[in-house]
Chain A
Amino acid sequence: MTEATENRLSLRARLPGPIRRADPAVLTSFGCILLLLFLGSLYSSNFLSPEYLLQQLKVASFLGVIAAGMMLVILLGHIDLSVPWVMTMGAMMACAAAGFGSTVIAIPFGILCGMLFGLLNGFGVAYLRIPSMIVTLATNVVAQGLMVLYTGGFSPQDSAPQAMRWLATGYIIPGVPNAILVWASVSVAMVFLLTRTTFGRSVYGIGNSERAAYLSGINTRRIVMVAFAVSGALSAFGGVLLAGYASKAAQAMGDAYLLPSIAAVVLGGTSILGGRGSYLGTVAGVILITLLQSILSVMQMPEAGRQIVYGIVIIAMLLLYGRNPASR
Chain B
Amino acid sequence: MTSTQSQSNAPLLRMEGIGKRYGGVRALDSASLVVESGRIHAILGENGAGKSTLIKIMAGVVAPDEGQMLLKDQAVSFRSPAEAAAAGIACVFQELSLIPDLSVADNISISNPPRRLGLIDRKAQRRLSEEALARAGAGDIHPRALVRDLPLSRRQLVEIAKALAWMPRILILDEATSALTASDVTKVFAVLKRLRAEGLAILYISHRMHEIAELADECTVFRNGRNVASYAAGTRSNSEVVEMMIGREVSSAFPPKPAARIHAAPVLSCKNLGWSDRLRDISLEVRPGEVVGLGGLDGQGQRELLLGLFGVLRGTSGTISIDGAARSITSPGAARAGTIGMALIPEDRKTEGLLLPMTVRENLSFAALDRLSRHGVIDRDRENASIEEMVRLLAIKTAGADTPVGALSGGNQQKVVIAKWLTRRPRILLLNDPTRGIDVGTKQEIYQLLRRLAEEGSAILFYSTDYDELIGCCDRVLVLYDGKIVKELAGGEITERALISSALNVQTEPEAAA
A residues near B (Cβ < 8 Å) are 5-6, 8-9, 12-13, 20, 196-199, 201-202, 204-205, 208-209, 211-219, 275-276, 326-328
Contact = CB atoms under 8 A, between A and B. Distances in A.
B411 to A, nearest CB: 18
B333 A197 contact: no
Lowest 4 A-B CB distances belong to which pairs? A9-B400, A217-B336, A198-B369, A208-B355
Given A198-B376, A204-B362, A328 B312 contact: no
Given A209-B351, A209-B355, A211-B352, A216 B402 contact: no
A212 B369 contact: no
Nearest to A8: B400
B373 interface: yes
Nearest to B369: A198
A201 B362 contact: yes
Contact of A12 (B336, B376, B402): B402
Contacts of B407: 327
A215 B376 contact: no
Nearest to A202: B369
B189 interface: no
19 contacts: A5-B399, A5-B400, A9-B400, A9-B401, A12-B400, A12-B402, A13-B361, A198-B369, A199-B376, A205-B355, A205-B358, A213-B366, A214-B332, A215-B346, A216-B332, A217-B333, A218-B369, A327-B404, A328-B404
A217 B378 contact: no
Nearest to B336: A217
A52 to B, nearest CB: 39
A202 B344 CA distance: 18
Tell me whether chain B's interface is mostly helix, strand or loop, or mixed.
mixed
Contact of B420 (A208, A214, A216, A219): A216
Contact of B373 (A20, A197, A211): A197
Contact of B352 (A204, A205, A215): A215
Interface residues of B, number: 38
Interface in B327-362: 331-333, 335-336, 344, 346, 351-358, 361-362
A213 B354 CA distance: 9
Nearest to A221: B331
Nearest to B332: A217
B412 to A, nearest CB: 15
A328 B369 CA distance: 23
Given A9-B400, A327-B404, A327-B407, A208 B369 contact: no
A259 B376 CA distance: 32
Contacts of B114: none
Contacts of B366: 201, 205, 213, 216, 218
Interface of B: 310, 312, 331-333, 335-336, 344, 346, 351-358, 361-362, 365-367, 369-370, 373, 376-378, 380, 384, 399-402, 404, 406-407, 420
A215 B332 contact: yes
Counting chain B CB atoms within 10 Å of each CB, which of A205, A208, A217 scores highest? A217
Given A8-B400, A9-B402, A197-B373, A215 B355 contact: no
B420 to A, nearest CB: 7
Given A13-B402, A208-B355, A327-B407, 11 more contacts: A5-B400, A12-B400, A197-B377, A201-B362, A201-B366, A211-B351, A212-B351, A215-B310, A215-B344, A216-B366, A216-B367
A276 B357 contact: yes
B360 to A, nearest CB: 10
Contact of B356 (A201, A214, A217, A326): A326
B376 A197 contact: yes
A209 B401 contact: no
B330 to A, nearest CB: 11
Nearest to B337: A217
B401 A217 contact: no
A219 B332 CA distance: 9
B291 to A, nearest CB: 22
Contact of B355 (A6, A20, A196, A212): A212
Contacts of A211: 351-352
B29 to A, nearest CB: 33
Contact of B377 (A196, A202, A275, A328): A196
A8 to B, nearest CB: 7
Contacts of B335: 217
